[in-house]
Amino acid sequence: MANRRTGEHAVSEAIKRLRAAIVDVLTEDVRDAIRNGATIEQIVERFAVTKRFVEDQRLILKETETIPDARVVTGSGASIRRMHKEGYTAREIAKELGVSTAYVYQQRRKQK
């Protein structure tokens, strides 16, 4: 009986070590993707991790190294202002520019 428990314990410890190794590899892969400029959305989709995990890794990297800002810069503020003046609705502007209506509203608030 004691021999069986020892064997189960050994298997349990091996599984723990394997899990830790997988997490270490996944963490390094996510950090590499951040360093290479991938967006959070791309990383979440590629590695099946949570947004929070990616954000945590980004914060850790920011403390030790310079990392690129992968947020999408659409440069669409001027287009939104122009289209708004031309009478487009927020929904029409968002569809035309490929952005969310919330982003359109945010840009319009910045104009005021």
Backbone angles phi, psi at 12, to 5 degrees: -60, -45
What global pTM score does this model have? 0.54
DSSP secondary structure letters along 45-92: HHHT--HHHHHHHHHHHHHHS-----S-----HHHHHHHHHTT--HHH
**pLDDT at position 85 over 60:** yes
Is 26 in a helix, a strand, or coil? helix
pLDDT of residue 73: 54
pLDDT in tens, 49-61: 999 999 999 989 9
pLDDT class of 68 with cuts at 50, 70, 90: low
What's the whole-number average pLDDT of the chain? 85
pLDDT of residue 3: 62
Q: Report how far residue 59's alpha carbon sits from residue 62's, in angstroms, rounded to the nearest whole number.
A: 5
**pLDDT at position 76 over 70:** yes
**R_g (Cα) of the chain, nearest Å:** 23
Please, how many CA atoms are within 13 Å of residue 85, restricted to the half-sphere of its CB?
7
